[in-house]
Amino acid sequence: MRTPKSPSRRRQPAAYAAHHSSMEEIQSPPNGFTTVAGFSIPSTDPLFLSIVAVHVALGLVGVVAGALAMLSPKAAGRHPRFGSIYFWSLAGIFASATALSLMRWPDDRQLFVLGLFAFLSAFLGRAARRGRRHGWARLHITAMGSSYVLLLTAFYVDNGKQLPLWRDPAVLDLLDGPGARCNSAYALGARSTPRRQGWA
């Protein structure tokens, strides 16, 4: 006489299959996506991925150079050197972001807008420093600081949903304060540093 299988044994294969399927969905990227270092890139096109690689490299250079420029004494030397690296990195970031946005315009048009304003702010700040008209220092500080904030904002808009820590509203509130006070800190550094010929 055959012994009937227990309900738990009959349900086990289905439960295991469902669990296995869910794990595959978590570990495997959706169709049309490429995963690199835990980040999902919405394309498998080699050209798109190549531009993304250049864009990321320029972004890292720009973020580091911008921070070093802000923290350097506002005098000839490190500040203008890192500032120039930041500006040209941002120019490359905007160019690559424009190309990526055009390739996925319905989804990435907001990144083009943020990149445009970030680059225009940096261009205005650089022009103010070169022109040296009345009040140029304040305009230079405000414009360059705003471009840096916009650069970080664009990164969060594009990648924030993939960063578990940044999904917490408390973290956003914590970051909002320093981000909003970025220009004030930059200005304070400029005021506390003796002016020399050729700074900025």
> What pTM did the predictor assign?
0.67
Q: Provide the H-helix boundaries in 43-165.
A: 46-71, 78-103, 105-131, 136-159
CA atoms of 179 and 145, how far apart (whole Å): 10
More confident residue, 132 or 17: 132
Please write the tens of the pLDDT for every residue from 140-188: 999 999 999 999 998 888 777 766 665 555 655 655 554 545 555 555 5
Please write the tens of the pLDDT for every residue from 50-92: 999 999 999 999 999 999 999 998 888 899 999 999 999 999 9
More confident residue, 30 or 116: 116
CA atoms of 160 and 69, how far apart (whole Å): 25
Q: How confident is the model at residue 9 (pLDDT cuts 50, 70, 90)?
A: very low
Q: Are 143 and 124 in contact (CB under 8 A)?
A: yes
| Per-residue confidence (pLDDT) for residue 2, from 0 to 100 | 55
Average pLDDT over residues 1-20: 49
